[in-house]
Structure 1
Amino acid sequence: MLSVAALLTAAVPAQADPRVGGDIGVAYERDYGGARGVLGEPLTPEIRTPNGRGAYVGFQHGSIYWSPWTGAHAVRGELRNGWGRLGWEGGRLGFPKSSERPTDSRRAVVQDFEGGRMYWTPSTGAHALQGAILERYELRGDPENGRDIIAEQALGFPTSSEIRTPNGKGAYNTFQWGAIYWEPQYGAHPIFGAIRSRWGREGWENGCLGFPITEEYSYEGYSTVQEFQGGWIWFHPSYGTEVDLYPRNDPSYSRYGLYPRC
């Protein structure tokens, strides 16, 4: 039979690593397994971030970042490298607000930040989605939300972080099988396949068509069409794509903010 002293000793939890304190130390032991876990041994003391909003500790296999608004979360591997390329916690993503996790399909790893979400796959690398483009991707069928087949068939995973368009009027992310473009008046819309290829030949957002203002949709069951600031692109499997620009002398289009660009 165990003695009372032995029972009391067995009930005491393992001592936290004295080299890592505070909320970062709690997360290190509880969430990441301490020195024997995924992060390994600590390499730095707790360091205040340059923007003064939080702190971090560096480990053999990553870092734990903490702020009063987000708590303590580890960033490691390619997600950490991608986050670093965007400016760390001082960049557009801010501090991490979750640990990394696999998507439901197990084809990617994601992590949430104050300013967006970072995705990583072995074939695409680590890239961030933000703001209206992230919201549109989630509506389209974000793999993280259990709609893997819809998202992966239509767009796949991101192959770039957000890029400003050359004309300075919008932004976009590229994906394995398409892109999502955003501009302030009409918001974010996906574009892919034959319609995207034709739009590119017409000059992308700098051409006569301008930015997409709708998602593609079926027209009378036999054609697919997508609307743009300056017209339409039609697609039929038998005939390919065709461009129709808005007519110059029809005032009904200008009432809705649409206009011929060329």
Structure 2
Amino acid sequence: MSRKLAIGDLHGGLKALIQLLERINLSPKDQLIFLGDYVDGWSDSANTVTYLIELAKQNSCVFIRGNHDDLAHRWLEKDEKNEKWLEHGGQSSIDAYRNFSEDEKKAHINFFREMFNFYKDDEDRLYVHAGFTNLHGPDFEYHETSFYWDRTLWEMALSMKDNLNPEDQFYPKRLQHFKEIYIGHTPVTRIGESEPVKKANIWNVDTGAAFKGAISAIDVNSKEIYQSDPVFTLYPDEQGRN
């Protein structure tokens, strides 16, 4: 039986991703929906992208664009170097590409170009790295950067009363468009959690892989959760984004 698995932020932690997929016992029939931020953090950023390109030849994969992916893409294709990006993991990606050929870089640029800002499945579920701001839904978003930078969707969900009914007049309109929304971008470790967290109808699958957390996956049908070891334990000689 095939599964549909949403996978949180990777941040160059290839060793942890491989470990996670082994624990999932991945089948070629499984669909993988990656929620973005494949790079910037651990030393395997470039190798992670290579791995994902090959993985997509064996499994059905959806790659959502994260803010770090957009910044790395801008550097690879246009040599843009945002200072804040360099401070928050970008330098690790620059270092990771030092020994890559121009042909390999071109393949990676194409990978970044083809990412989705968001993805909707046939069961009324949305997958997006960060969020969206338009009350009418992501199809009406004014600026695509919201999809990979916005934190207000998650902040709103955190502030809501747990018992607020979707039929209530004050239930946020942004949440009414989908049965469930799967995001990354804002680590749940910031609220003291280590596994994916559900608030309202939003599942946050970013469990802090760039810092002290694991890479996580969730079966969107069964809600079974899979995790790697904390990524930093697999890169003991590195600092990550501490």
Q: TM-score range by the shorter chain?
A: under 0.3
- Structure with higher helix content: 2
- Structure with higher strand content: 1
> Which structure ranks higher in relative contact order (CA pairs < 8 Å, sequence separation ≥ 6)?
2
Larger Rg computed on CA atoms? 1
TM normalised by structure 2 equals 0.26
